[in-house]
Amino acid sequence: MLEAAERAGANVHQETLATGVDAGSAGVVVEARRRGKGVTYRSRLIAGADGANSVVGTSAGKLADDPRHIAVAQRAYATGFEGDLGEVVCFFDEALFPGYGWVFPMAGGRANLGIGILSETRRRLDLNVPSLFGEFVERLRRNHPRCAGLELCSAPIGGIVRTYGGAGANHFDGGVLIGDAGSFVDPMTGEGITPAAESALLAAPVLRAALESGRFDAQQLSAYEDAFRAYFDPAMTFLDLCAAVLRNRWLARPWLKAFARGCELAQADPTFARIGGSYFGGLDIQPFGILSSVWVRLVEDIVLAWPRSFGTLARAPGSRPTSLGDLAEWQAAWSRSFLADPFWHTRWAWDVQRKTLRLLSSLQERDPRAAGLL
Ligand SMILES: Cc1cc2nc3c(=O)[nH]c(=O)nc-3n(C[C@H](O)[C@H](O)[C@H](O)COP(=O)(O)OP(=O)(O)OC[C@H]3O[C@@H](n4cnc5c(N)ncnc54)[C@H](O)[C@@H]3O)c2cc1C
């Protein structure tokens, strides 16, 4: 992408660290260190694409910083994975809730493995991400035959991702924020590369229009917020609600059981798998379709739990349908959450309600992201 930008006429300044940005509608000044020397750049506009710890976003006072919308992650490369190259494997462990572990197979038996967990949970429980990562790799080796021979071949690297639920206006006098700087990461999966590129495509015409009109104030650049909200909100509002629901770690066990049951049903029903499962890394998010297909299965399972419990309905061999014990577990987990921290629990429940109302007011039949931008 960098080479393509250069071919298109961009001037690239490698080994240059921006240290401060002063942006205004009359122009932008960037202070930087280049090969040990201080340099100053001046321009009419700035597009802050400098990642999750954006200097541009910080200088403009626009970097989102709510731990409920930030995930902390760590990943490394490993050899010795015996999986199928085309198969991404995700692990939903109680220790990583709300979050997950992944193994992305690469050529030659190598794999990208990592974990991500919500920053708010990490802070509340004082969890150590490198330790969680180490324990995750150990569990993989111990419990998964295809991972028994895993050996790390790179040092683990960590980082944070700012998810869309925390995204602010992302425009200011003299500039815009794109990619991680603007919190465009999928709140459920932590996927940020594609939305970063999409946000750049949405910003480009707005910046061009500003250059053509000679106006660089926030009002002129607010067309960027209009564009990214129209494009991302229909899917991301729903994904943000899902992430908010899962924020309560007291509910980890019943959620993981329900999720395992959902996967079991999905294996026998490709349509349910395609629609109901698309909230986790789907390309065409249809909140209404997902909610209705999941609710139908859930209600069916709960209604049938009664005859199953009294032995009047047999269950398929190997299957683990919802039982009355599971329903009691939900109730107990909810009560424990409330008793442990009534203030946090009430704020969390209110947050979920608020996001539900927001979703209901923004439901759309089609996800604009499915059509893409090019
Ligand atoms: C551990 C981990 C695993 C991840 N795995 C995935 C994944 O599998 N799939 C996925 O889609 N997303 C993943 N993500 C998220 C993904 O990495 C980001 O969403 C994506 O890289 C965002 O792109 P970006 O260009 O906005 O920011 P970045 O990729 O962070 O790029 C920012 C650039 O700005 C430069 N920069 C920063 N500060 C300055 C400065 N002061 N001066 C000059 N230059 C500066 C940096 O050097 C960098 O080149 C992961 C994130 C983490 C932390």
If you measure from the C-alpha of residue 71 to the centroid of ligand 1, how many angstroms do you get, rounded to a whole number? 13
Q: Verify that 334 and 217 share a domain, yes or no.
A: no
320 pLDDT higher than 80: no
Residue 278's pLDDT is: 82
Q: Verify that 278 and 354 share a domain, yes or no.
A: yes
Q: Verify that 180 and 151 share a domain, yes or no.
A: no
316 pLDDT higher than 70: no
- The answer to whether residue 232 sits within a structural domain is no
Q: Verify that 59 and 175 share a domain, yes or no.
A: yes
* C-alpha separations of 65 from 139, 143, 160, 232, 242 in Å: 32, 37, 11, 20, 20
Q: Verify that 11 and 131 share a domain, yes or no.
A: no
- The answer to whether residue 284 sits within a structural domain is yes
Residues in contact with ligand 1 (CB, 6 Å cut-off): 17-18, 49-51, 55, 73-75, 114, 159, 161, 179-181, 185, 190-193, 196
Domain boundary (162, 180, 205) is at 162
Domain boundary (118, 146, 162) is at 162
pLDDT tens, residue by residue, 166-202: 999 999 999 999 999 999 999 999 999 999 999 999 9
CA gap 91, 100 in Å, rounded = 6
- The answer to whether residue 231 sits within a structural domain is no
Q: Verify that 25 and 99 share a domain, yes or no.
A: no
Mutation test residue for ligand 1: of 103, 161, 184, the one with most atoms within 8 Å of CB:
161
Q: Which two tokens stand for residue 15?
A: 């080994």
Nearest CA owner, ligand 1 atom 6: 191
Q: What is the CATH number of the domain that holds 132?
A: 3.30.9.10
For 116, the 3-state DSSP assignment is strand
pLDDT tens, residue by residue, 88-109: 889 999 999 999 999 999 988 8
If you measure from the C-alpha of residue 50 to the centroid of ligand 1, how many angstroms do you get, rounded to a whole number? 8
Average pLDDT in the 324-333 region? 89
Q: Name the average pLDDT for the chain.
A: 92
Residue 172's beta-bridge partner residues? 175
Nearest CA-CA partner of 176 in 149, 155, 196:
196
Residue type, position 115, single letter? I
If you measure from the C-alpha of residue 180 to the centroid of ligand 1, how many angstroms do you get, rounded to a whole number? 7
Q: Verify that 93 and 135 share a domain, yes or no.
A: yes
- The answer to whether residue 240 sits within a structural domain is no
Nearest CA owner, ligand 1 atom 45: 50
- Which single residue is written with the structure tokens 């893409």? 372
- Which single residue is written with the structure tokens 């190259």? 85
- The answer to whether residue 234 sits within a structural domain is no
Using pLDDT thresholds of 50, 70 and 90, give the confidence band for residue 4: very high
260 CB burial (10 A radius; 0-12, 13-18, 19+):
exposed
Q: Verify that 156 and 178 share a domain, yes or no.
A: no
370 pLDDT higher than 90: no
Q: What is the CATH number of the domain that holds 10?
A: 3.50.50.60
In terms of residue numbers, what domain contains 189?
Answer: 2-64+167-221
Q: Verify that 316 and 267 share a domain, yes or no.
A: yes
- The answer to whether residue 237 sits within a structural domain is no
Phi, psi values for residue 157, rounded to 5°: -120, 145
Domain boundary (205, 221, 237) is at 221
Residue 304's pLDDT is: 76
pTM to 2 decimal places: 0.93
Average pLDDT in the 52-56 region? 97
Q: Verify that 185 and 59 share a domain, yes or no.
A: yes
Q: How many structural domains compose the chain? A: 3
Residue 318's pLDDT is: 64
- The answer to whether residue 115 sits within a structural domain is yes
Q: Verify that 208 and 90 share a domain, yes or no.
A: no
Inter-residue contact 73 to 190 (CB < 8 Å): yes
Nearest CA owner, ligand 1 atom 31: 51
- The answer to whether residue 207 sits within a structural domain is yes
Q: Verify that 59 and 179 share a domain, yes or no.
A: yes
Mutation test residue for ligand 1: of 63, 96, 193, 280, the one with most atoms within 8 Å of CB:
193
Measured from the Cβ of residue 33, the count of other Cβ atoms closer than 10 Å reads 13
pLDDT tens, residue by residue, 255-282: 999 888 888 888 888 888 888 788 887 7
If you measure from the C-alpha of residue 84 to the centroid of ligand 1, how many angstroms do you get, rounded to a whole number? 27
